[in-house]
Structure 1
């Protein structure tokens, strides 16, 4: 009986370790996703544009997107590329 109790305690400890690992992995994955993808509201606030303007950027192919369950997501790198592609420097200074 003592051997069975010891096995069950060891198993329980291993399960707790796995739970902690999975929780940390999920948190890390969500943070990574959030760092690389923005939803429409974030894009509108960042660029100070309206919902209609964001729709136009999507419809015209100017800004790539993903759509999941009716919600649009945008890569942060695509937004940076859009800003860089439309950068105008009349002063002649270079980056």
Structure 2
């Protein structure tokens, strides 16, 4: 039986036109970055999905095809619980 693997990636500051939907102050911050093409930004995702050896790696964080340590904020269990709770509350208020 094959197992399910799950990993996270940072695509870099990919030029995906995300700034077009952002508040002006955030759009400026996004547009001031050195952006890479969506192809470059998606390279690590495609590599993780297709490389046979990656089927044995799970629970890791990758950037530019390298496993890297995530930030302390991203592994904060209390913050994760709060995000989950706030998301559930938002969805309940929105009728979901």
- Fold match by TM threshold 0.5: no
- TM class by shorter-chain length? under 0.3
Indicate the structure (1 or 2) with the bigger Cα radius of gyration. Answer: 1
The structure that is helix-richer by fraction is 1
Give the TM-score of the pair, scaled to structure 1.
0.21
Give the TM-score of the pair, scaled to structure 2.
0.21
Q: Which has the higher contact order (CA 8 A, sep 6+)?
A: 2
